[in-house]
Amino acid sequence: MAGFTVAIVGRPNVGKSTLFNRLIEQRKAIVDDISGVTRDRQYGLAEWNGKTFNVIDTGGFVPNSEDVFEKEIRKQVVIAMQEANLILFMCDVTTGITDLDAAMADLLRRSDKPVITVINKVDNAQRQLDANEFYSLGLDPLHFLSSISGSGTGELLDDVTAHITEDLNTVKPETELPKIAIIGQPNVGKSSLLNALVGEERNIVSDIAGTTRDTIHTHYKLYQKDFILIDTAGIRRKTKVHEDLEFYSVIRAIKAMDEADVCMLLLDAEKGLTAQDLSIFSLATRKGKGIVVLVNKWDLIEKATNSARDYEEMLKKRFAPFTDVPIIFTSVIEKQRIFKAIEIALDVYDNRRQKIPTSKLNDIMLKAIESYKPPVVRGTQIKIKYVTQLPTYTPAFAFFCNLPEDVKQPYKNYLENQLRGKFNFSGVPVRLFFRKK
C-alpha cells in the first residue's frame, strides 16, 4: 500500500480542523466559531513514532438548507468509507448526540474500514462524565479528547498508527520505471493531456494495474525512454456521482502522489495558483516528491513581451522557499510543449535519483563552507568537517560538525543554495541533516 489515509468526518463545529492542526502540527487552518463558514478542505501529513499518514479534514462544506446539508454530509461519510483507510468520526460532548451524529453513526457502523470515534471538547472532569453518553452510539473504540489542549491525542495517535503496518516511506518500488503523476484541480486539462498522449497510440506499451484500483498506470515509450503515467482523471469520469465533489479529486490526487516519483502539477493559466494548488504543492514537497509545474491553457492568455517571465516570477514568490522548480507554459489544445513537459519530468526523475560521489561532494561543499563560514556561537566557531549523501530515495545530506544544534536556518539555506548551484536538483526537494561528528 502506498500511503495510509485517515479521514476526519463529523458535523461542522465539532472541532475537526482543530484536531487536524494538532495532527499535522501546523497552524494553517482558519478555525472559526461560526458554524458552516467557508473553508478549503484540508489535507496534510502527520507523523507519529516514525510512521507517517495522510490526514484529510472533510470539513469545508457550506450548508444552504438543512436538507442539502444532511445529504452532503452523508455523501462525505460514504466517500470517506470508500476512499480512506481509517475514519475518525468526531462528535462534540457539549452538544451531546444530535440527530445528525446518530445518522452518521448508522452509516459508519456498516463500514468495513476501521472507524475510531472521537468525542471532542472533553476539557474537564465533568465533561469526561458527560461523554459516556456517546457509548450509546454503539461504536467502538471511543476516545475522549480535548483537541484544544491536546489531552488524549497521544493515545489516539497510538491507536491510529497501530493500523499502519507499512510506512509509506519504506514502500519498495514495484518497478524501476519512472512514475509521473498527473495532478491538478478539476478542469485544468488532465484528461486532455492524457488524450493528447494517448493519441500517440504507438507510444503506449501496456496498461498495468496501479497499486490501488483508484489510479490508472499507463506504461509509455517516448524518446527511447520508458515511463509510467499515473492518472486519476479517467476514473473520475466513470463515476459521475462524484464528479462535483472536490473532496474526491483531492483524495485521489494524494493517492497518485504517493505512488509517484514525480508530480506534474497542472494549473489553469487564467485562474492562477489557488490555495488548494499551493497545499498540493507543499504536500508533494513534504513527501519529497519531484515536482514539475505546468501552466496550462497558455493559449488563452494575451501575451505581452514578458508575460511568461512575470508569471513565473509571481509563481515562484508563492512557492518560496522551494523555488527551484521547473515551470512550463503549455497548451494541451494546441499541443504546445506537452512533450517538453514530459522530458522535463524525466529530467527531474534523474535529478532525484542522482547519487553524488562523496569525494566530489566534499571537494565542492567544503570550499563553499570555507568561503562563507558558519557563525561563531558562544565563542566557538561552528566547524563542518565532512558531508555525505544519505542512501535515501529523496536526496538527503548529512553534514558532520561540532555543534549541529547551532546551525540555523539562514546557514542551512546557504548550504542548500550552494548544493543547488553546483549540482542539478531542479524540481527536487532536498533535506539537510546536521550530525555530531
For ligand GDP, give the closer residue by CB, 5 or 296. Answer: 296
404 marked ligand binding residue? no
The owner of cell 468520526 is 89
297 marked ligand binding residue? yes
296 marked ligand binding residue? yes
| Spatial separation of the C-alpha atoms in residues 297 and 228, rounded to whole Å | 24
Distance from the Cα of residue 49 to its chain's centroid: 19
Least distance to ligand GDP, CB of residue 229, Å? 13
234 marked ligand binding residue? yes
Least distance to ligand GDP, CB of residue 94, Å? 7
For ligand GDP, give the closer residue by CB, 41 or 51. Answer: 41
For ligand GDP, give the closer residue by CB, 142 or 148. Answer: 148
Least distance to ligand GDP, CB of residue 12, Å? 4
Cis? peptide before 12, omega within 30° of 0: no
Q: Which residues contact 42 (CB under 8 A, 6 or more apart)?
A: 17, 20, 28, 29, 56, 57, 59, 60, 279
Output DSSP code: residue 374.
Answer: P
For ligand GDP, give the closer residue by CB, 121 or 352. Answer: 121
Q: CB neighbours (10 Å) of residue 95?
A: 12
Least distance to ligand GDP, CB of residue 277, Å? 12
362 marked ligand binding residue? no
The owner of cell 486532455 is 192
For ligand GDP, give the closer residue by CB, 131 or 332. Answer: 332
| Spatial separation of the C-alpha atoms in residues 156 and 215, rounded to whole Å | 30
For ligand GDP, give the closer residue by CB, 130 or 226. Answer: 130
Residue 334 grid cell: 494546441
Q: CB neighbours (10 Å) of residue 301?
A: 15
Least distance to ligand GDP, CB of residue 351, Å? 26
Q: Give the footprint of ligand GDP on this chain (CB under 6 A).
A: 10, 12-18, 31-33, 59, 120-121, 123, 146-148, 184, 186-192, 233, 296-297, 299-300, 331-333
Are the C-beta atoms of residues 373 and 381 closer than 8 Å to each other?
Answer: yes
Closest CA to 84 of 166, 186, 3, 183: 3
190 marked ligand binding residue? yes
421 marked ligand binding residue? no
Instruction: State the binding site for GTP.
Output: 10-17, 57-61, 120-123, 184-191, 231-235, 296-299
Q: Which residues are annotated as a binding site?
A: 10-17, 57-61, 120-123, 184-191, 231-235, 296-299
